[in-house]
Structures are given as C-alpha cells and as structure tokens.
Structure 1
Amino acid sequence: MSCQALAGLPLVDAVTPAVLVLSGPVTRDEVPGLCDDVRGLLPGRGDRVVVCDVGGLGPPGLAAVDLLARLELTARRAGGRIRLRDPDPALRSLLRFVGLRIQVEGEAEEREPALGVEEEVEPGQPAV
C-alpha cells in the first residue's frame, strides 16, 4: 500500500460572508426591506456576518447613519452583525461621531475595554 503526498496547500473550507450592496440614496420606505434582506442572509452562515457594500450609498448623512444603525440592530437581534465594505471616510467619521461602532472590512474588530479595570504602577516598581 502506498500513499502519495499532494502538492500545494490543503483544501480549506472557507465560509464566504453574504454581501448586501447598498446603492444610491436609500429612502425610509426601503429600510424595512433591507432589514429583511439582512435577516434573510444570516441563517446558515458560519460566521454570521453580512458585508454591506456602502461604496455607492451616496453622500454621507444622518439618513445613511440611521440605515446602518437599523441594519446593525437587525443583524444583532438575529445573532449576527454587519461589516462595512468601502465606506467613505466622511461616513466613517460620522459613525464614530454618533458612537456607532460598526466593523469595517479589513480592519481589526474594536472591542470596548472592560469596565472597572485600571492598572496602577507605584513609583519604583519594576515593569512587569
């Protein structure tokens, strides 16, 4: 009996996240349908993430912030989250300004620091 080694990398079963493309200015009437789309894309996904391509969303404003907040809330209620692809720098600044921490594709996930944890060092103590 013989065994032949395979050349190259082993086959990896990678899960590709679902992508929802948001284009043009979105009206308030379209938001519930987009929330349904996010909810529908989450079941059965390994990492429970829907990537929202916001490159064509239009000018950043409070309507875009409201839309993304609702999509994130919908995803969280369904046990997942959204991740932004190609956000305008002004949109990212606006999201930070209003306090929305939505993950951006290609960046490490930001986590909030643990509450009540402070590290103090007394003068003369060696660094650990």
Structure 2
Amino acid sequence: MAAADIPPGSPAPTVLVVPAPVGRDDAAVLCARLRALLRGGPPGAAACPPVVCDVRALTRPDAAALDALARLQLTARRHGRAIALRRAGPALRALIALAGLGDVLPLLDEPEPLDEPAPLDGPEPLDGPEEERGAANRSPPGPLRVEPRREAEEREQPLGVQEGVESGDPGP
C-alpha cells in the first residue's frame, strides 16, 4: 500500500511480513504475531485500515500457506480489523482464485510482470515429429492461469426424465 492509498489523517497501516515457507504449524505462530501487533492499536475496522500482509516471500504457496492466510484473516476480524495481501505473486493469486477466496483475502496491488516464463514442473518436452504436430495446440509458455469452476456435485439434476413401463412389468 503506497502512502497515496492512505487517507489523510488516518493511522499508518500495520504491516505483517509473512515468511516462506509456511507450514501447518506456522499458522498459529503467525496468528500470535498478528494478535501482538493488534493489541497496541485502537479496535474497530472502521477506524483503522486493514493490516497489510506482505506475502512476496510466498513464491511456491500450497494449502498450508492458504490456510495460514485465511486464519490470519479470522484473527484480524476477531479484533475488529481485516487483512489485505500485498506483493502476492502469480502462483499465490492463482491459488486464491482456485480456492474461491478472492473476497476473503483481498489483494492490494497488481501482480508484478514476470521477466521470464515460470518453469513448469514435469518432464522436458520431446523433440521430433510428435512434438511438431502438437505445437499448434499448445498455449504459449508463461504462468499457469487457473479459473475456478463449479464441481460436478453442484450440477442441477435433469428435469422431465421419466421411466418407461413395459406391458409385462408388475405394478407398484
């Protein structure tokens, strides 16, 4: 958050730097650090800007990191505040979108442009005719773009389906 984003006369934002890597046990430690930061400030979300969590160190986020960030948001809300993420990389942004937590974990700034495409995990592509045939169907290299979608369990059941009855079937 730049100084221009802070309204005049409002207190300076509280900043919590989230280190990497974040494991399952680190969520409790981060929440304790956040509680300690919030004890000294005035209560009430209306009077104070959100706590800024600098997450630039989370270059390879996983479910444990996402869980820790969600728990930080819960801790802040219990103290009448909220958190907002600053300097989130493309991988963390994609994971937040995939989990559907974009409204729960707001981002303060736009992603920084990548100088080089992110390497994808997996085997190296093969050279040869098979590779050339599939080249037209591949997307250009770069960060993985993930869009959240509905799961199969959430589909609506088809309407108007009726079972046919044979003449030799016994009645109900």
TM-score bucket of the superposed structures, by smaller chain: 0.5 to 0.7
Residue 66 (structure 2) aligns with: 65
The structural deviation recorded for 1:48 is 4.7
Residue 26 (structure 1) aligns with: 22
The structural deviation recorded for 1:74 is 1.0
Letter of the aligned partner of 2:31 in structure 1? C
Q: Does 1:97 align with 2:98?
A: yes
The structural deviation recorded for 1:54 is 0.3
User: Which residue, 35, 42, 45 being the options, matches 1:44?
Assistant: 42
Q: Could you list the per-position Cα deviations for residues 64-113 of structure 1 after superposition, in whole angstroms to 9, with x for gaps in the alignment?
A: 11111111111112111101010012211211211212111147xxxxxx
Farther-moved stretch of structure 1 (52-61 vs 41-50) = 41-50
Count, aligned residues: 96
Residue 5 (structure 1) aligns with: none
Secondary structure of the 2:53 match is strand
The structural deviation recorded for 1:53 is 0.3
- For residues 22 and 35 of structure 1, do their structure 2 counterparts lie closer, same or farther at Cα, with a shift above 3 Å needed? same
> Could you list the runs of 5+ residues in structure 1 that have no partner in the other structure?
1-11, 108-128
Secondary structure of the 1:13 match is coil
CA contact (8 A) 1:41 1:50 kept: no
Same amino acid, percent of matched pairs: 46
Q: Which of the pair is proportionally richer in strand?
A: 1
- The TM-score with structure 2 as length reference comes to 0.50
Structure 1 runs, 4 residues or longer, greater than 4 Å off = none
